[in-house]
Structure 1
Amino acid sequence: MAAEKLDGEALAARVRAEVAAEVAALGAQGRQVCLATVLVGDDPASSRYVAMKQQDCAEVGIVTKSHHLPADLAQDDLLALLGALNADPTVHGILLQLPLPAHLDEQAALLAIDPAKDVDGLHPVNLGRLVMGTPGLLPCTPAGIVELLAAHHVPVEGRHVVVVGRGLTIGRPLALLLALKRPGCNAAVTVVHTGVPDLEAYVRQADVLVAAAGHANLVKAAWVKPGAAVVAAGTSFAGRRLLSDVEEEAAEVAGWMTPRIGGVGPMTRAMLLRNTLLAATGAGR
């Protein structure tokens, strides 16, 4: 029996509608929600991602202020811009598109963003709030995954979740989030990575499996526990074809599974919109 689809597209549409309604309500009070985007250089993928995020904002009524800077931008000039955006009361969220050109210090730039405007949820202050279990802006992809599981009534509380991948944007914060004593989480979480000798043995134990390593077809269908929920969060490309960390045949074994396209990605983008709204209202603090 084929797995139930964890439909990120449908859920993201609901989230966008909710955000749009709240943005409109703020607009009726004379309050405009604004996201500043910062793009350095002309990397095609980065340019495409920023354009998509700006379009998402436009569709829900969030205003964007675009800052497209030359690839040879000096570090001091980047930090000066971020400082100005921090100080601008009309800007509620700041999105710094990564990767930056090699001569720029990404970590210093990310640290320069006001945590209250950090809509990616990756500033150490926001990650620290996640560790402590206190309110803050959550990293977009982990927050989207938790919502996706909850919306499809996947049992998580008290279950064994295995996260394959320990990256800053997904694996590490997701493991922290799923272990918290809060609705839709409260799980026993194991984090593994591609350097673990017997990866298969860990995957086979998972009631909920999240693959976030960025290695195509790393997780074999034969490894998946029958009836498990499988979230393929890591991606890579072969030419222009998007590849999943999980073999597509796993859908014949799993109870729930994200599709190769339309699973986690739309939820990540939707959570960025929600974080911008939360930053504007102060509810994320």
Structure 2
Amino acid sequence: MGNPMAKNLMKHGYPLVIYDVFPDACKEFHDAGEQVVSSPADVAEKADRIITMLPTSTNAIEAYSGANGILKKVKKGSLLIDSSTIDPAVSKELAKEVERMGAVFMDAPVSGGVGAARSGNLTFMVGGVEEEFAAAQELLGCMGANVVYCGAVGTGQAAKICNNMLLAITMIGTAETMNLGIRLGLDPKLLAKILNMSSGRCWSSDTYNPVPGVMDGVPSANNYQGGFGTTLMAKDLGLAQDSATSTKSPILLGSQAHQIYRMMCAKGYSKKDFSSVFQYLREEETF
């Protein structure tokens, strides 16, 4: 995700200072003349507008508060935007640490996947001090079609977690529906067409269909390679589960979705796109 996001900043004329834990990920930026440094702290020393995109809460904590983290060399007045999807409580703690250093922290997780990142059509859900939103919007607008202010720090994460829980539920529902229809003798393309002109229509059916051969340009057309990994979906559903527990919110379908994606990871689907739940349902006969 960070790669195409950075490229869109380049297209808008922003010079970049880049760090990635995997040096090879920075090679094309180095070849293009951008600065590549050896730690998050080095980024903070050279830049006062920093965007992070990381897989987990643990990675985010390390990038900001670790031995070579951003907070070791952050400059007063810097704007730090975290576009990772992490626990809202972690975002709030990082914001406190950043504020003590005289800088500003905003959480701005994204929706839309790698395709939207490449085309600059991501949706950013932003939490933080409202007075700083305009500065964040200027940068995020280079990478996204929608930049939405959600409220205080952590509310961006809250919105993203809610979105991804619904996405997981509707993807599983779409996969179950398509599988049932196919086994009842319906052509999958015809069934998808009917769903998408009827009340069952959703993003998982009309934009990201999980059935191979129904749509081009989606992971199901490429053996579920690329896209949004099953491991990441399981992680996000875990965040939803934790948030539901802390707020005493019943998430019956969300909990079931979490269990399904955890089982998929255990069954060898961890590196496949989350729409591979269709393949999982087709192959598992023990439900």
The two structures have a TM-score, normalised by structure 1, of: 0.30
Select the structure that is richer in helix: 2
Q: Please say which structure displays the higher CA radius of gyration.
A: 2
Q: Which has the higher contact order (CA 8 A, sep 6+)?
A: 1
The two structures have a TM-score, normalised by structure 2, of: 0.30
Select the structure that is richer in strand: 1
